[in-house]
Structure 1
Amino acid sequence: MKRQKRDRLERAQSKGYKAGLNGRSSEACPYQQMEARSCWLGGWRDARVDLQAGLYK
């Protein structure tokens, strides 16, 4: 049985979250399409909020 790929927007959000945890700038977003860029930035913002809340060190 073939494995189904994750949704590209979900993947963009996940990569943005990881970038935010690693301290990368929001300007480092690799996506040009507005929809994917929006998801990446949403993940990035979520990670920054989690860092400020003390969930990660």
Structure 2
Amino acid sequence: MSGAVVWVTGLPSSGKSTFGRALVARVRAADRPAVLLDGDAVRAALSPAPGYD
């Protein structure tokens, strides 16, 4: 079994999460496992109230 990582970068509000969700949906539709690690969700899980100051 082999795997791949797709790292999507870009400016804020440029559609990275939307693209990621669409990509995961297509991979799963092809009957392949896929996991989406969204930066906002990961940050919220690790630190519920992050401060950017």
Higher relative contact order (CA 8 A, sep 6+): 1
| Structure showing greater Rg | 2
**Do the two structures share a fold, i.e. TM-score over 0.5?**
no
TM-score (norm 2): 0.35
TM-score (norm 1): 0.34
